[in-house]
Amino acid sequence: MHDSRETFVNHAFVAGYPVKHSRSPLIHGYWLDKLGIPGSYRAHEVTPEAFADFMKAVKSGESGYCGGNVTIPHKEAAFALADRPDELSRELGAVNTLWREGGMVHATNTDGRGFTANLDERAPGWDRCDTAIILGAGGASRAVIQAVRDRGIKTIHVLNRTVGRAQELADRFGPRVHAQPLEALPEVMSGAGLFINTTSLGMDGASVPDIDFTPMASGAVVTDIVYIPLKTPILHQAEIQGLRIVDGLGMLLHQAAPGFAKWFGRQPVVDAALRQRIIDDMERRQ
Ligand code: ATR
C-alpha cells in the first residue's frame, strides 16, 4: 500500500478528553470545503488511559489517519510517545500536531506560531519593542514565552501568582526571561510594548484586578490568549485606556494552519469568513 496524496483521501483527527469543546473540526472542515479537498477531520474522545493505544494505532497506520491534533490533556503524553518531536517542541515538552511520515509519528507544537501569526495580522510591528509582560506560567504560557523570545524581544517578564512556576519557565527559556510575583506589575509596566494574558483570570465571570496600562510605551499592544469571551475583562480594561488590543481567536485559527498543510498538502488561509464561523458557533453554544 502506498501513501500518495494524489490518489488517497487523507483523514486527520483531534484527540482530547473531553473533546466536545474543540473547534478544530469546524476550522479544518471549513478549509476542506473551501479548497475542495475530499479529506476528513474528526474529533475523538480519548481517555488518558487509552491514549498510548491510540498513538500506537496512528503509528501503525491501523487507525487510517495521516495525522492530527492533540489537545488537553494529551499534549505532554503525545510529546513523550511521538517518534520524532521537532526541536521547538523538545524545548516545550508538549505537542499539538502529529503527522505520519516514513512509518514514524512526527510532532510539533504550533501554538507559538499561531500566537505570532495572529499579532502579525492584527497588530503589525508588535515585535518592535524591548520588553514584554506575560501574565501566567501555566501550560499555555510556555509556547507564548518561546515565541516572543524567538522573535527577539529582549526582556520578558513572566508574572505569576505562584512565583515558583514562573521561575521554572525562566530557567527553561533562558536569561531573557524574568520571573516576577503579580505584585511587580506596576513596576514592570513602565515602557513595556507588549502585554499578554495567558491566565484564566476573568473567564469564570470572577472579577479581575484593575490594571493600569497607561505606563506602557506608546503604540503598545495588549493581547489575551483566551478567546471566550472575545473581549476578555483584561482586553476591555486595556481598550478603555486607549491601548491597541488583539483578541485570542486568531491564535486558535492560525495554530491550525500548519497541521492542515501537512495532512492535506495545501496551505489554508485564515480569512474573515472562518473567523465569523467560529464567532457564530461561540454564540450558539452560549
Ligand atoms: P493552562 O495550561 O491553560 O495555562 P494552568 O496550567 O492551570 O492552565 O495555568 C493557569 C494560569 O492561570 C496559571 O498561571 C495560574 O496561576 P498559578 O500558577 O499561580 O496557579 C493562573 N491563574 C488562574 N487563576 C488565577 C487567579 N485567580 N489569580 C491569578 N492567577 C490565576
Which of 161, 180, 210, 224 for mutating ligand 1's site (highest number of atoms within 8 Å of CB)? 161
Distance CA 199, CA 141 (A): 8
- Listed residue (33, 228, 246) closest to 124, CA to CA: 246
Common-topology check for domains 4-109+251-285 and 113-247:
yes
Q: Is 203 in the pocket of ligand 1 (CB under 6 A)?
A: no
Q: Is 162 in the pocket of ligand 1 (CB under 6 A)?
A: yes
Q: CA dihedral defined by 156, 181, 196, 185, rounded to 10 degrees?
A: -90
Whether pLDDT at 258 is above 50: yes
Distance CA 57, CA 34 (A): 30
pLDDT at 216: 98
Give the distance (Å) from ligand 1 centre to CA of residue 137: 7
Atom of ligand 1 nearest to the CA of 161: 19
For residue 223, give the H/E element and its range.
Answer: strand 221-224
pLDDT at 285: 87
Distance CA 254, CA 38 (A): 22
Amino acid at 50: A
Atom of ligand 1 nearest to the CA of 199: 12
Q: Give the 3-state secondary structure of residue 235.
A: helix
Contact 230, 282 (CB under 8 A): yes
- Listed residue (120, 122, 118, 113) closest to 95, CA to CA: 113
Using alpha carbons only, how large is the chain's radius of gyration in Å? 19
Which of 199, 204, 226, 232 for mutating ligand 1's site (highest number of atoms within 8 Å of CB)? 199
Fold of 4-109+251-285: Rossmann fold (3.40.50)
**Bridge partners (DSSP) listed for residue 135:** 159, 197
Average pLDDT, the chain: 95
Q: Is 143 in the pocket of ligand 1 (CB under 6 A)?
A: no
Residue nearest to atom 27 of ligand 1 (CA): 201
Active-site choice (20, 59, 75, 231): 75
Residue nearest to atom 22 of ligand 1 (CA): 199
Each residue's pLDDT tens digit, 45-85:
999 999 999 999 999 999 999 999 999 999 999 999 999 99
CATH code matching the domain that covers 113-247, chosen among 3.40.50.300, 3.40.50.720, 3.40.920.10, 3.90.550.10: 3.40.50.720
Each residue's pLDDT tens digit, 168-214:
999 999 999 999 999 999 999 999 999 999 998 877 667 788 999 99
Q: Is 137 in the pocket of ligand 1 (CB under 6 A)?
A: yes
pLDDT at 5: 47
Q: Is 199 in the pocket of ligand 1 (CB under 6 A)?
A: yes
Which sequence spans correspond to the domains of the chain?
4-109+251-285, 113-247
Percent share of the chain, pLDDT over 70: 97
| Separation in Å, CA 179 to CA 26, 61, 110 | 37, 44, 24
| Separation in Å, CA 283 to CA 43, 228, 255, 265 | 21, 10, 22, 32
- Confirm whether 56 is a catalytic residue: no
pLDDT at 245: 98
Residue nearest to atom 26 of ligand 1 (CA): 201
For residue 108, give the H/E element and its range.
Answer: strand 104-108
